[in-house]
A and B are shown apart, each in its own frame.
Chain A
Amino acid sequence: MHAHTHIVRLENVSKTYQQGKLQVRAVDNLSLEIDTGDFCALCGPSGSGKTTVLNMIGGLDLPSNGRVYLEERDLASLNRSQLAALRRDRIGFVFQAYNLIPVMTAFENAEFVLRLQGIPADECRQRVLATLEEVGLHGLERRRPDEMSGGQQQRVAIARAIVTRPAVVLADEPTANVDSLTADALLDLMQKLNEENGITFLFSTHDQRVMDRAKRIIHLRDGRIEQDEVRALPGARTAKS
């Protein structure tokens, strides 16, 4: 029996890649649940499987074995169009390299997914302006990515991820390409969005600063959970399993 508060659930998930003649097991029989409103970090050394787990939760990659559920929907049961719709409506992505569309302004990058959802232009405009203000980009709406700093670009990426009010934001090394001041500012922002708006964040990260702020830290090694700790209070750590 699974509680309905689990926004993400992985059941005995494995992922095997073919690398030349070698088979690489990136994720090995992994099971976990992420609760609604969590601020959770997947961490571990390179090759531990954290990005692969994130990709499978985001429906970007399929597991070789096992099941991935998002809001109790089995991702394996969805076809390409349904997966695309799920990503559009229920998941926000933040990437290490920002990955904004370079010909679009900050406003248009944030607006893009809303337009895909078919939201009327007026409502799009109100929501995008409010979201850009929320992430601290008021006045920069018309700037293109090449006219903004790395931190500003990542804020646009966060705005794009949250503007649709997704069930979960998956952030892959979101602070890896920015300086520490900017990283702190970005984390402040995401923490605020989590605490004030209840948006669930799931990070894959090496960054100690992310881990320090996470409510839950899942340590991965060789595709398995090495340690899963829940921090009840900032600074205090409790092993979950």
Chain B
Amino acid sequence: MHIFSLATRNVLRNWHRSAVTTGAMAFAAAIMILFAALMDGLLRDSERTAVAMNLGDAQIHRHGYLADPDLYSLLDDAAALAGNLRSHGFHAAMRLYGFGLAAAGTASAGVQLRGVDMDNEASVTLLHRHVLQGDWLAADDPHGIVIGRKLARTLAVTLGDEIVFVGQASDGSMANDLYRVRGILKSVGEDVDRAAVFITIPAFRDLMALPQGAHEIAVMRSDRNSDLDAARERVAALAPQYEVRDWRQLRPVVARLLDMADIQTIVMVVITYVAVATIILNAMLMSVFERIQEFGVMKAVGVTPWNIVALIYLETMVQTAVAAGAGGLLGYAAANYFTDHGIDLSHMASGFSFGGIAIDPVWRAYITPQSLLVPITFLFLIAAAAVVYPALKAALIRPVSAIHYR
């Protein structure tokens, strides 16, 4: 009789207990797969928001601009550089930034004016698709602006309302003009939500008296799966006189939070599985104590301690494999459902953020090979660890006392 058949029959011998143990393992695996997929969804959403809504994969600035975002700290050859980047397979868009005061009625707020490259920004970020109300900027509407949702609330403006911008132009003159709100963005992040006023680059240049150059070039890889560090190096080689940083360097806190989220998933998996391990330990100990005589006889007829360890492990692994299969299917089905439908948290709060990056209030799962494999792999590891004591207990039984055990 093959040891696998013996292990399977032993599992089925007390099928109620085996079903409870396997069921608990399967349930925990399913929950952990769903949790991992939801965490991956959260991370993906956060990264997507950080990168695709704002930062891009990398940014080019004049040295010192990030520490002191001065209006005069320009990339003088920005248009040529952006064109060169595009010819090397990158997506690149110029950006201009200015600061000032926005006022509507009796309300006012300090704002960051953002000049948008209408021809290229859409290839770098997805802001144009992230409009909550109204429309994105239009090249033929120089007085139309798009603003962050919290700024709209602060200024108490809605679509079509007028906003006055007041600031200092590059020539020292007063920059002021009247604009009309043509769009309000969904939540992107604290900085954009509270202070961003998007305007076309030609309108920005007119207002701020900056006829050429740009403060920033946002760059996006054509292939999102290619190596970020390598892409940054390539961009840096094309712009050696400027400072090039990738999004992880620009938002190190967010990058670390995203990295730590993987660890958080593993910690959650381990904590949950420790509870499962106690169930496995208990069930296998009961199984061993019920069969002490049997193990004694097996050892008497020549079964080695290692054979006994192998048998106990095989019995546990048979149950774990069934649990992994059932839990995997259940977890995949649940994660798949929440990938399509998401968990709508919008009724709980108006906005959510993760590390300062706004996330969609409809929390969706995202199934990756990792979100399936990590919970399944840890289930096998925890089961293997939980059964060490029962296996050793059975293996080290003295046959003479086990045979006469009552």
Q: Which residues of A contact B (CB under 8 A)?
A: 55, 58, 60-61, 80-81, 84-85, 87-89, 93, 95, 97, 99, 101-104, 108, 111-113, 115-117, 160
Contacts and interface: CB of A to CB of B under 8 A. Distances in A.
B6 A80 contact: no
Interface string B299-321: 11111110100000000000000
Main secondary structure of the interface of A (DSSP, over half): helix
A116 B303 contact: yes
A26 to B, nearest CB: 12
Contact of B300 (A80, A85, A87, A102): A87
B13 interface: yes
Interface stretch (B197-205, B290-298, B364-372, B383-391): B290-298
B302 A104 contact: no
B39 to A, nearest CB: 42
Contact of B301 (A55, A97, A108, A113): A113
B400 interface: yes
Contacts of B294: 99, 101-102
Q: Which 4 A-B pairs have the closest CB atoms?
A: A88-B302, A103-B9, A60-B400, A99-B297
B300 A60 contact: yes
A87 B301 contact: yes
B307 to A, nearest CB: 8
Contacts of A102: 13, 294
Nearest to A93: B300
Given A80-B304, A103-B9, A112-B1, 11 more contacts: A60-B398, A84-B302, A87-B301, A87-B302, A95-B297, A102-B13, A102-B294, A103-B10, A113-B301, A113-B302, A115-B1
B328 interface: no
Nearest to A115: B1
B114 to A, nearest CB: 73
Contacts of B6: 101, 103-104
A200 B397 CA distance: 28
A58 B299 CA distance: 11
Contact of B302 (A85, A99, A103, A111): A85
Nearest to B1: A108
**Most central of B293, B301, B307, B400 by chain A CB within 10 Å:** B301
A141 to B, nearest CB: 13
B298 A101 contact: yes
Contacts of A80: 304-305
14 contacts: A58-B300, A60-B403, A61-B400, A80-B305, A84-B302, A84-B304, A88-B302, A93-B300, A93-B301, A99-B297, A101-B297, A102-B13, A103-B9, A113-B302
Nearest to B304: A84
A103 B299 contact: no
B27 to A, nearest CB: 27
B399 interface: yes
A108 B6 CA distance: 10
Contacts of B293: 97, 99
Contact of A112 (B301, B304, B305): B301
A116 B300 contact: no
Contact of A60 (B303, B305, B399): B399
A103 B13 contact: yes
A104 B307 CA distance: 17
Contacts of A60: 300, 398-400, 403
Contacts of B303: 84, 88, 116
Interface in B360-406: 398-400, 403
